[in-house]
Structure 1
Amino acid sequence: MNTRQLQHFLALMNTGSLSAAADAVHLSQPALSRSIKALEDELRVSLFDRTNRRLHPTPFAMEYLERAKRIVFEERDGARTLNLMKNGAYGPLAFGLGSSVALDFLASLIRQLLATGPGLKIQAQVHSTDVLLDALQKEKLDFFIGDVGAAARYPELMAEPLYTCSFGWFARAGHPLAGRKGLTMDDLKEYPLIGSGYISEMLALKMAHLYGMQLPIETNFAASINNIETAHDLILSTDVLFPTTFLAMIKLLREKSVAILNVQPPFELDLTLGIVTIRHRTLTPAAKQSFSIIRSYFQEAEQEIAAYL
């Protein structure tokens, strides 16, 4: 038995099709069939029932699935660890973060990493948590900064909570609603609402309950935008209202170009940001350094935002 055979087995389990699995591992169908047959001979069990030209996993296959995943992961991670030891601070670092954090922090993070590791090859992805979660599970990222609650359902992932978000309703400074007390949803509906491109189902339900909004929550917005710079531009140039985190608005708050609206009930949601990684995966030296920088950033952001609450 070798890990290549296990990779073939996993591909067949993932796709459920001999032809799709063969494409995934770049083999012909006969070659893949021979590899699976050799694995079955080694294990002395039938992993698939072959009926009507289709393959159906047997109970043996279902029992062996998680063990095969661990074996393949351990071999790949072992090779990765040796490569890290050889390269030290050099080599690739891939991570992701959301648009609201990236606007205020990404450039600073990269500057600090390159200052101590000029040989680094950094790949930074700016996407919503759902996209980053998928990329991490496919091992395309070393880590991402995002909603730690989204990772809780996956035992293979590990999250370090760092920052509990505060939420508010925001508009441009000088907006007709700025300075008014006790605004309600009826007041807000007089103006276009914009929303972020990603909101978890749990947060959407809570927001709908707070303000009597319809579900799906996106139907309440004139536009749903996954790019915080675009949202900022719309806020400053129009009368749109934006329910979002204070972290997403920190740049405009510093510039005093945005107003915090006094809306009742208060906009309170449960969202904690942090670092999400693959459990038991060896971390690169650069990733460990990144974590230290990220922790410091959120500590400073929490102190700064407290002044607006």
Structure 2
Amino acid sequence: MNTRQLRHFLAVMDLGSLAAAAEAVHLSPPALSRSLRALEDELRVPLFDRQDRRLRPTPYAVTYAERARRIVFDEREGARSLALMRSGELGALSFGMGSSIAMTLLGPMVLELLSAAPGLRLGTLVQSTDVLLAALQREELDFFVGDVRAADADSGVSAEPVYDCTFGWFARRDHPLAGQLRIGIEDLQRYPLIMSGYANESLLRRMAVLYGLPLPLQQHFAASTNDVSTVLTLLTSSDAIAPSTDVAVISALRAGTLVRLDVQPALDLDLTLGIVEHTGRTRLPAAERAFEVVRAHFAAVKEEVAAQRSRGSARRRAGERRASH
């Protein structure tokens, strides 16, 4: 039995005539009759009484018609659901990102995806890259946005780089060190230092080398948290100072509540953010749409960060000229 036979059966039930039903389903009357016979053989009951070249529904046909309509409807709805999934308008999509990225990306991304496809069911996870990678490996996520180095150790995971991070030391705009030139690590250590966000061992070792700090690096910080909202609260409400990516604090820089300090040497660390997903896994169109949102977001961040750093460099040069006179 197949749904094609069921459609033939329902056409006869609805139209009451073999000839009219045959025309509706684009078959000859003999071909339609053979299809009905095959369905009766499979169901092992007579569906029609054949008298005077007419087909009269039996009680079996009347009882079965409702179930047949449901089967045909379900098949059509299933095909429609797959078509909507292909177009990115239906289905489930789960993804994650770090809190520093989520601050400015997660809300707008969810809004854009749901606006474009209200039938989507979205799941999100905000965590550090190591936790996100484990969730991806357990197939709890379709993808995450984080450190692309997460893909290095697993051949089943691939990454698309989208943004090379820049780093700096940040404090509130009226901090005692704000506006000073060539600040050293000893100047920073007069104030509470906050370790923020996800940092792997290579980043920590590089920071220790830059500033001549013995390991473990965490011992030089008053507090450590991967929650960016907490970091921003500490920085804007106290004399605390934090090393961070521009991405994590871009909203505060944009609002003017935080400033980048002129620390020497500069915080020269290597971190590339990207889209991390299963290698070779078929992407849902909704995931493709999400990737476009991520790419556009980081393209805009790159432009804004470059403009902010250019303005900061101009202010430093102006400060150096004033100091030399």
**Structure 2 CA distance for aligned equivalents of residues 99 and 197 of structure 1:** 7
1:288 maps to which residue? Answer: 288
Instruction: Look up the match of 2:140.
Output: 140
The answer on whether the counterparts of 1:93 and 1:121 sit within 8 Å (CA) in structure 2 is yes
1:220 counterpart residue number: 220
The answer to whether structure 1 residue 85 and structure 2 residue 82 are counterparts is yes
Asked if 1 retains the 8 angstrom alpha-carbon contact of 2:99 and 2:197, the reply is: no
Supply the AA of the counterpart residue of 1:298: F
Calculate the TM-score normalised by the size of structure 1. Answer: 0.71
Q: Which amino acid aligns with 2:272?
A: T
* Bigger Cα Rg: 2
Secondary structure, aligned partner of 1:176: coil
Structure 1 residue 188 and structure 2 residue 188: aligned?
yes
Q: Distance in 2 between matches of 1:238 and 1:126?
A: 26
Q: Which runs of 4+ in 1 moved over 6 A?
A: none
> Residue type of the partner of 1:142?
D
Report the Cα distance in structure 1 between the residues aligned to 2:150 and 2:158, rounded to whole angstroms: 11
TM-score by length of 2: 0.68
Moved more, 186-195 or 147-156: 147-156
The 8 Å contact of residues 93 and 123 in structure 2, kept in 1 or not, is answered as: yes
Unaligned runs of 5+ in 1: 1-81
Q: How much does 1:152 deviate?
A: 1.3
Deviation, 1:250, is 0.5
- 1:99 and 1:127 map into 2 onto residues whose CA distance is 6
- Matches of residues 3-14 of structure 1 in structure 2 within 5 Å? none
Within the alignment, does 1:243 sit opposite 2:253 as a pair? no
Once the two structures are TM-superposed, the CA of residue 84 in structure 1 deviates from its matched residue by 7.8
**Identity over aligned pairs, percent:** 46
**Deviation string for 1:64-114 (max 9, x for gaps)?**
xxxxxxxxxxxxxxxxxx998365131211000011111111111011100
Letter in 2 for 1:303: E
CA distance in 1, matches of 2:198, 2:254: 25
1 CA distance for matches of 2:253 and 2:297? 17
2:150 aligned partner = 150
Structure 1 counterpart of 2:300: 300
| 2:123 counterpart SS class | strand
1:1-309 paired onto structure 2 within 5 Å: 85=82, 88=85, 89-309=89-309
Aligned to 1:15: none
> Could you tell me how far apart the structure 1 residues matched to 2:224 and 2:135 are?
22
CA RMSD of aligned residues (A): 1.5
Task: Name structure 2 gaps, 5 residues minimum.
Answer: 1-78, 310-325
Please say if residues 95 and 142 of structure 2, whose CA atoms lie closer than 8 Å, have aligned partners that are also in contact. yes
Q: For 1:259 and 1:196, locate their aligned partners in 2 and report how far apart those are by CA, in whole Å.
A: 16
Work out the CA distance in 1 between the residues paired with 2:300 and 2:272. Answer: 16
Q: What is the Cα deviation at residue 216 of structure 1? A: 2.3
User: 1:162-205 CA distances to partner (integer Å, 9 max, x unpaired)?
Assistant: 00001000000110111111111110110010012421111111
